Chain A
Amino acid sequence: MIEFEKMKLKNGLTVIVHPDDSTPMAAVNVMYDVGARDEDPEKTGFAHLFEHLMFGGSMHVPDFDSPVQQAGGENNAFTTNDVTNYYITLPAPNIETAFWLESDRMLELAFSQRSLDVQRNVVIEEFKQRYLNQPYGDVSSLIRELGYTVHPYRWPTIGRDISHIEKARLDDVRDFFYRHYAPNNAVLVVSGKVETESVFRLAEKWFGDLPVRTVPVRNLPVEPEQSAPREQRVERDVPFDGLYVSYHMDRKLGSDYHAADLISDILSNGNSSRMYRRLVMEQQLFSELDAYISGDTDPGLFTVAGKLMAGVDFDRALEAIRTELDEMKTTLVPDNELKKVINKVEANLVYSETSYLNKAMSLATYELLGDARMINQRFDRYREVTADKMRETARKIFREENSSTLYYSRKK
């Protein structure tokens, strides 16, 4: 049980506190309800570029990082398709420094042309380092493009095209800030060696006078049901062929989500999982094979991703994957196997609760999904899943017309 208290400031900022005495540190985590899905299709990569600019100084604080380091802290941020998250961990007595910094950049950024010019280059180098200059680095982008036709999940957080980043102007930056960065569009979570009342007082002191902003109501295009299988073939300079099959699946709060997650565990979580045992070790068709769900707020993708062993052709590999997915549709998962994956989920939750920062991020995530209290029902949602439910979910997901297949061939 993760105990926490919650309050809302007059300007709409939600504040959550989770005291944890096992550490001398504290985490201050601010999650904004904006991600790559909120971008203009012609200006993709913006939420992430913006995340970089949030470190370029704010109205009263010219340099964000130095005070954090001065206070013995560490900070970072990440952007997903759904949210943008900023966090600082520091010795608990210095927590007010984090309030000062986070509230000032929520109040107003410095909007400097220089910062934009530099961070544009940094992000372009990040694009190269993580996506373009790595073998198989563009796979996730290709899967999205193939899997979605209208929903903004069709581009990755780094952006659809480098040129979108290159063209970003200071006006775009300003506009993005005032549309999405506001107390009424964020959750502040503080965890660690703190007292609830004093955190609430600090929140009021530093965030209480920030202005409410008009945040546009999210109205994203709904991805239409897929009616025919899709496929794409690309050739790249990589040592081995890759095969990727994706299916549309439920959103994070949907009724099929947890069953789908457990299906992916049955298939590929751990060395005793079905696909690892049969297709990697016994039949030796793949050097790596993974089944995973995207875990998005809106309906996401269930993906099977494999790298083929040399000499194995695509048809045989695809056939083997389909055989495994078909078994999920036809045969009930035996009790002991279901129990195994549920035990693993339970253990993983216990392990993750050793980190006060993890807990802060999870609380923020659930609060943006609707209610932080869901953090304490996480395990129940998995425990409720039955073998029947898994078979029914597999039948919904693993349909030929719901599939997108990416053939990623090595250049001969």
Chain B
Amino acid sequence: MTDRLQMPPITVPDKLAVPEPNKVVFPNGTEVWLLEGGSQELCKIDFLFDAGSWYQSANLVAGLTNAFLNQGTRNSTAQQSAEFFDSRGAYLQQSADQQYGFVSVLTLNTYLDDILAKTAEIIFEPVFPEMECRAQIAKKKQQFRIENSKVKVMAQKRFSQVLFGERHPYANTNSLDDYDRLTREQMIAFHEKNYRKKRPRIVVAGNRPEQALKQLESLFGRNEVEAEPEETSLSFPVASDPEHVHWVEKADALQSAIRIGRPVPGYGHPDFEGLIVLSTLLGGYFGSRLMTKLREEKGYTYGIGSGIFILRNAAYFSIMTEVGAGVGMAALNEIANERRRLIAEAVSDKELDLVRNFMTGEILRSIDGILATSETLKAFLENDRDLQQLNKQLQTIRQITPERLQELAHRYLHDDQLWTVVAGPLGS
């Protein structure tokens, strides 16, 4: 008879087989990381440029310069470029955040050289044609209005302003008018400075990544670039709002979006890894305290989470949820109770063990498969770390004590250290 009352024995790995990417430096100093794995004949190449909103002189410039790279080059129209990727089943993706401009391509190995050549053309030779850009801007304005009618977007936006101060580049202050103010000249200048003259960092992942090297070197390894990134000269002080509670009104909403959080120290600070464990315990997994209380016990929400978000020059802790319009205050109270409980009581060994094992699984998943591994490496490179950081995290996870977590909660999670933003119908 099978014993169904007894959980089968489990093992949790105490060592990680962290993949070691092969690093190559091109003659112009451009660094390339090669990750080998998988059996599928494919290759993914990621380019990271120091070209996020950190470097822009006006709202939207970084984001739209990046978005419009593929709207036409000296040699081909947007349509021809799109045709080029689509007909080879390849994907070109662009995005920009506060710190970086990203270009990413996924292709079958068969087309690798052609796809890289086309990607380089898009990165280096865009012309930002007036007509295409105008059409794209009109489109993006409409999408902006749709997005900004969602409570979670309203809350997140205000939260970024409250946390960093409206003048900080990590604060999202984009408005509809910014789209009309943006000029083609601004994009050309931004591109010149932040794409053409800067070295990207490149991650190549696939079953035979070294295949890409020769072509990459000829395209990205020999052009002239600025010796020193200007970033060292840029600094922006974080200026959090003196008022700790903010409400963005949307009277007819059925749910309120809530953000609660604060700036926290990032990589290199002795508290950093421990804070990740603390925020996981609070709201970082399905069985977390916030999920258990607000979803599984109270039924206030479909989901609630908390985490540490890391940007190159700042990190912050945030709790995020959307709750029924009628239970907004009750939800805030329950969240506060859970937070205070972390300060008042040490976590039990049993619960901490669970969190440890879950986080170990998360680390394993983050290097599970070639595409996941390359995402993870990219995220570390954004902060000048590499995959070895995973071993450091694993070590913290295994060694951290209930007392240490309580101490961190005491240091970071008191009422008067946190900012709260609610978007929706909840008043006062």
Q: Please, which residues of chain B bring their CB within 8 A of the CB of A238?
A: 146, 149
A69 near B285 with CB under 8 A, answer yes
Whether, in the assembled complex, B353 has its beta carbon less than 8 Å from a beta carbon of chain A, the answer is yes
Interface 9-residue window, one of B118-126, B215-223, B247-255, B410-418: B247-255
A352-374 CB contact bits vs B (8 Å, 1 = yes)?
01111000000000000000000
Nearest 6 A/B pairs, CB to CB? A121-B299, A347-B89, A72-B361, A271-B82, A272-B82, A96-B8
Per the bound structure, the CA–CA distance linking A269 and B82 in Å amounts to 11
A347 near B8 with CB under 8 A, answer no
Within the complex, what minimum Cβ distance (angstroms) separates A106 from chain B? 12
Selected A-B contacts with CB under 8 Å, 29 pairs: A23-B368, A25-B365, A60-B5, A67-B7, A72-B13, A89-B365, A94-B8, A94-B11, A117-B299, A118-B296, A124-B299, A238-B146, A270-B82, A271-B78, A271-B79, A272-B85, A277-B82, A281-B78, A287-B138, A287-B139, A340-B86, A343-B88, A344-B86, A344-B89, A346-B89, A350-B108, A353-B40, A354-B370, A354-B371
Whether, in the assembled complex, B187 has its beta carbon less than 8 Å from a beta carbon of chain A, the answer is no
Q: Please, which residues of chain A bring their CB within 8 A of the CB of B428?
A: none
B1-44 CB contact bits vs A (8 Å, 1 = yes)?
01011011111110001000000000000000000011111100
B299 near A72 with CB under 8 A, answer no
Within the complex, what minimum Cβ distance (angstroms) separates A23 from chain B? 5
B86 near A271 with CB under 8 A, answer yes
Q: Please, which residues of chain A bring their CB within 8 A of the CB of B391?
A: none
Q: Please, which residues of chain A bring their CB within 8 A of the CB of B357?
A: 69-72
Whether, in the assembled complex, A22 has its beta carbon less than 8 Å from a beta carbon of chain B, the answer is yes
Within the complex, what minimum Cβ distance (angstroms) separates B96 from chain A? 18
Whether, in the assembled complex, B322 has its beta carbon less than 8 Å from a beta carbon of chain A, the answer is yes
Whether, in the assembled complex, B358 has its beta carbon less than 8 Å from a beta carbon of chain A, the answer is yes
| Chain B residue with the shortest CB-CB distance to A205 | B2
Known: A71-B10, A91-B12, A354-B370. 5 other contacts (CB 8 A): A24-B17, A90-B361, A340-B83, A347-B89, A356-B369
Q: Please, which residues of chain B bring their CB within 8 A of the CB of A310?
A: 142
Within the complex, what minimum Cβ distance (angstroms) separates A99 from chain B? 8
Within the complex, what minimum Cβ distance (angstroms) separates A400 from chain B? 29
Q: Please, which residues of chain A bring their CB within 8 A of the CB of B364?
A: 24-25, 72, 91
Q: Please, which residues of chain A bring their CB within 8 A of the CB of B252?
A: 237
| Chain B residue with the shortest CB-CB distance to A23 | B368
User: Which of chain B's residues 76-120 have a Cβ closer than 8 Å to chain A?
Assistant: 78-79, 82-83, 85-90, 106-108
Whether, in the assembled complex, A223 has its beta carbon less than 8 Å from a beta carbon of chain B, the answer is no
A72 near B146 with CB under 8 A, answer no
| Residue ranges of A at the interface with B (Cβ–Cβ < 8 Å) | 22-25, 59-61, 65-67, 69-75, 89-91, 93-94, 96-97, 99-100, 103-104, 107, 117-122, 124-126, 128-130, 132-136, 205-206, 209, 237-240, 269-273, 277, 280-281, 284, 287-288, 307, 309-310, 336, 339-340, 343-348, 350-351, 353-356
Q: Please, which residues of chain A bring their CB within 8 A of the CB of B82?
A: 270-272, 277
Per the bound structure, the CA–CA distance linking A240 and B296 in Å amounts to 37
User: Which of chain B's residues 255-304 have a Cβ closer than 8 Å to chain A?
Assistant: 255, 285-287, 295-303
| Residue ranges of B at the interface with A (Cβ–Cβ < 8 Å) | 2, 4-5, 7-13, 17, 37-42, 70, 78-79, 82-83, 85-90, 106-108, 132, 135, 138-139, 142-143, 145-146, 149-151, 252-255, 285-287, 295-303, 322-324, 353-355, 357-358, 360-362, 364-365, 368-371
How many cross-chain pairs have Cβ atoms below 8 Å apart between A and B? Answer: 209
Q: Please, which residues of chain B bring their CB within 8 A of the CB of A91?
A: 11-13, 361, 364
Q: Please, which residues of chain A bring their CB within 8 A of the CB of B302?
A: 122, 125-126, 129-130
A240 contact from B90, B142, B151, B322, Cβ within 8 A: B142
B255 near A128 with CB under 8 A, answer yes
| Chain A residue with the shortest CB-CB distance to B206 | A354
Given A94-B11, A96-B8, CB of A206 within 8 Å of CB of B299: no
Per the bound structure, the CA–CA distance linking A119 and B298 in Å amounts to 9
B79 near A280 with CB under 8 A, answer no
Per the bound structure, the CA–CA distance linking A168 and B67 in Å amounts to 48
Given A25-B368, A69-B361, A209-B2, CB of A307 within 8 Å of CB of B89: no
| Chain B residue with the shortest CB-CB distance to A118 | B299
Per the bound structure, the CA–CA distance linking A130 and B139 in Å amounts to 24
A97 near B296 with CB under 8 A, answer no
Q: Please, which residues of chain A bring their CB within 8 A of the CB of B11?
A: 91, 93-94
B86 contact from A270, A307, A346, Cβ within 8 A: A270
A350 near B42 with CB under 8 A, answer yes
B300 contact from A75, A125, A133, A354, Cβ within 8 A: A125
Per the bound structure, the CA–CA distance linking A67 and B12 in Å amounts to 13
| Chain B residue with the shortest CB-CB distance to A287 | B142
A239 near B2 with CB under 8 A, answer no
Task: Specify which of B79, B106, B361 lies most central, judged by the most chain A CB atoms within 10 Å of its CB.
Answer: B361
Per the bound structure, the CA–CA distance linking A70 and B358 in Å amounts to 6
A354 near B369 with CB under 8 A, answer yes
| Chain B residue with the shortest CB-CB distance to A352 | B40
Per the bound structure, the CA–CA distance linking A340 and B79 in Å amounts to 14
Given A91-B361, A239-B146, CB of A120 within 8 Å of CB of B135: no
Q: Please, which residues of chain B bring their CB within 8 A of the CB of A61?
A: 4
Q: Please, which residues of chain B bring their CB within 8 A of the CB of A66?
A: 287, 354
Q: Please, which residues of chain A bring their CB within 8 A of the CB of B70?
A: 271
